[in-house]
Chain A
């Protein structure tokens, strides 16, 4: 089955242009998401249980 929003996804992509730089909105979202995920991965607190400690 095609996706719920397949019709939307199969429309022509939207491109953002700055001079010779051009990127599709979707690709830009993916790239920004990667930077965001990286930052979150570093800065989000991580549960810390040392060996021997019980929950």
Chain B
């Protein structure tokens, strides 16, 4: 590694033998801590911090019961975002890829989620239900998976055709699905679904994956995100709720989602796999930052654009040092 260094490189590496100035490292540290502590305490006193209350299934079912009902049917039909997601939750899709790299798929199913059972059937089973829901559960459980899928898909399609208006859905071969969906909607409205998904039939439970996945399948969470301007396609990654400062340091990560082809899901292959491509780009750029001193052109920018002349101006002046070239 030790190639011959230039005289300047040698000079830069040697301990400094030139003029010195007074310095008190401990005092500097203490002053910095006190200044920052005062600044932080003042900002906190003046502005507080953001803390918007969690949304709940209860809130969703009460404010938009049609959307909740329709999402429940999608979970049973296997057409929801969670159901068709792929790894790491299930194998119902290949997920995203970068050319021949199917990293999402190759990582495997490590957090198994079966929406129909985890989001609908199991919570319903955990509660004492009205007679029609109990009967519907028995009918569902004793049917074949093909039959279950047929009923749920029929209703899912019909809801789609009715533009989400549940009351406008015509009669059809839906089996126990309408009763199950209504049963879950009523459970949600009562707050019992929040509790059931939290405990998942157990006691201690610290993994919120199932709740988050189910929650995001409908419009409630998405609409709240749009209202708070947190959507990825409008620089949401940088933003915070209310008027608080967000994460300005995520500006470059957020940037890619705003421009073609990344901002168009229908553009293949990049737009459709935007998340993966952007992860790759940001990984590369981060590596570039870390290894910047090894990148020709970039590492010479500070020499070519002499901001350093302003930084070290008093030393350059007092020693009569002219600008080096190269």
In the complex, are there CB atoms of A and B closer than 8 Å? Answer: yes
Instruction: Identify the A interface with B (CB < 8 A).
Output: 1-6, 8-15, 20-27, 29-31, 34, 42-43, 46, 48-51, 53
- Select one of B21, B238, B242, B258 contacting A9, CB under 8 A: B242
Interface of B is mostly: loop
* A10-B246 in contact (CB<8A): no
How far is the CB of B70 from the nearest CB of chain A, in Å? 28
In the complex, the answer to whether A13 meets B314 with C-beta atoms within 8 Å is no
A-B complex: 8 closest residue pairs judged by Cβ atoms: A3-B48, A6-B48, A51-B20, A2-B48, A10-B242, A3-B47, A26-B245, A13-B243
* Contact (Cβ within 8 A) A27 B44: no
Bound-state CA distance A51–B20 (Å) is 6
User: Are A12 and B22 in touch, CB under 8 angstroms?
Assistant: no
Q: Which residue of A lies closest to B52 (CB)?
A: A10
Chain A residue numbers with a CB within 8 Å of B305 are none
Q: Sample 9 A-B pairs with CB under 8 A, ordered by A number.
A: A1-B48, A3-B49, A4-B46, A12-B242, A24-B229, A24-B238, A48-B21, A49-B21, A50-B20
For B248, what are the chain A residues with a Cβ–Cβ distance below 8 Å? 27, 30-31, 34
- A13 and B50 contact, CB distance less than 8 A: no
* Chain B residues within 8 Å of chain A by Cβ, number: 32
Known A-B contacts: A21-B235, A22-B235, A50-B22. Give 13 more (CB < 8 A).
A3-B44, A9-B243, A9-B244, A20-B259, A21-B258, A23-B235, A25-B243, A26-B246, A27-B245, A30-B245, A48-B21, A48-B314, A53-B22
Give the docked Cα–Cα distance between A22 and B251 (Å). 11
Q: How far is the CA of A47 from the CA of B244 in the complex (A)?
A: 36
Measured in the bound complex, the distance between the Cα atoms of B240 and A30 in whole Å is 13
Task: Give the residues in chain B near A9, CB-CB below 8 Å.
Answer: 47-48, 50, 242-244
Please, which residue of chain B has its CB at the minimum distance from the CB of A29? B245
Give the residues in chain B near A6, CB-CB below 8 Å.
47-48
Please indicate the chain A residues that have their CB under 8 angstroms from the CB of B45 in the complex. Answer: 3-4
Residues of A within 8 A of B301 (CB): none
Does B47 lie within 8 Å of A42, measured CB to CB? no
Nearest-neighbour CB distance to chain B for A35, whole angstroms, equals 12
Complex interface: chain B residues within 8 A of A8 (CB):
243
Check: B311 CB closer than 8 A to any chain A CB: yes
Q: How far is the CB of B199 from chain A (nearest CB, A)?
A: 32
User: CB-CB < 8 A to B139: which residues of A?
Assistant: none
Q: Please give, as numbers and ranges, the residues of chain A lying within 8 Å of B228 by CB-CB distance.
A: 12
Query: Once the chains are docked, how many angstroms separate the CA of A33 from the CA of B245?
Result: 12
Which of chain B's residues 1-44 have a Cβ closer than 8 Å to chain A?
Answer: 19-22, 44
> Taking the complex as formed, is B234 at the interface, i.e. its CB lies under 8 A from any CB of chain A?
yes
Cβ A42 vs Cβ B311 within 8 A: yes
A25 neighbours in B (Cβ, 8 Å): 243
Complex CA–CA separation, A3 to B47 (angstroms) = 4
Q: B307 in the interface, Cβ–Cβ < 8 Å?
A: yes
